[in-house]
Amino acid sequence: MSGILYGVGVGPGDKKFLTLDAVEKLKNADIIAVPDTGGEKTAMNIVSEFIQGKEILYCNMPMTRDEAKLKEGHESSADSIIHKLDEGLNVAFITLGDPTVYSTYMYVHRIVVARGYKAEIISGIPSFCAAAASLNISLCDKSEHLHIIPASYEGTEELLNIKGNKVLMKSGKSLSKVKATLKNMGYGSSCKMVECCSMKNEKTYESLNDIPEESSYFSIIIVKGDRK
């Protein structure tokens, strides 16, 4: 009998944000699959307490927009996981935040399911929800709309024209450009940002002017309200 793949959302940074379901799946899994981007293993650090002594399967997840390289990484990771599933072992693939929000896990999930294996998603606390809590604000009230925008991609300015509150993710090295766009569009006083939410080096910024030109990859900008 084949094993089951679990895509486990581990939350934004602090292990206290792990759900009971996530901890249960981690403790019961035979193998822990860890996305390997070549940098720090943030998700692995979060769950380290609950995976002591377990076999670790590193999955190559290149930080690139080269579709061919991405596909190769996803297929290779799926192959490695399926090999373990064929041995009847359950695999928990850890991913920051929630697996359904900009997670590389979902690409592997689709491949594994398409090949006839069972895979389940274990929801985690999304980084933008934790960021709003850290800022002590709501993301949306009453009939307000909420838009999640991958800010380092084309079309950001067009999406910022849509009425409603916005969460800007994936700013990365484009933060300076994103800041300039927000300022030029009149969103200056409506912006707040959390860097490294719930981590030891968390920083909050209450206005666009406070936000630095460079920041961590783990930075979330929340635009609450319309232009001023």
Helix intervals (H) in the chain: 20-28, 42-47, 67-86, 105-114, 127-135, 156-160, 175-184
Measured CA to CA, the distance from residue 189 to residue 181 in angstroms comes to 13
pLDDT at residue 64 in the model = 83
Question: Considering only CA atoms, which of 69, 41, 46 is closest in space to residue 57?
Answer: 41
Domain residue spans of the chain: 5-122, 127-223
Q: Is there a common fold for 5-122 and 127-223?
A: no
pLDDT at residue 228 in the model = 60
For domain 5-122, the question of CATH label 3.30.160.150 is answered with no
For the chain, which ranges sit under pLDDT 70?
Answer: 228
In CATH, the architecture of 127-223 is 2-Layer Sandwich (3.30)
Pairing relationship of beta strands 31-36 and 55-60 according to DSSP bridges = parallel
Q: What is the pLDDT of residues 39-98, one digit of tens each?
A: 778 999 999 999 999 999 999 988 788 899 999 999 999 999 999 999 999 999 999 999
- Helical axes 105-114 vs 67-86, angle rounded to 10°: 60
Exposed/middle/buried for 79, CB within 10 Å: 0-12, 13-18, 19+?
A: middle
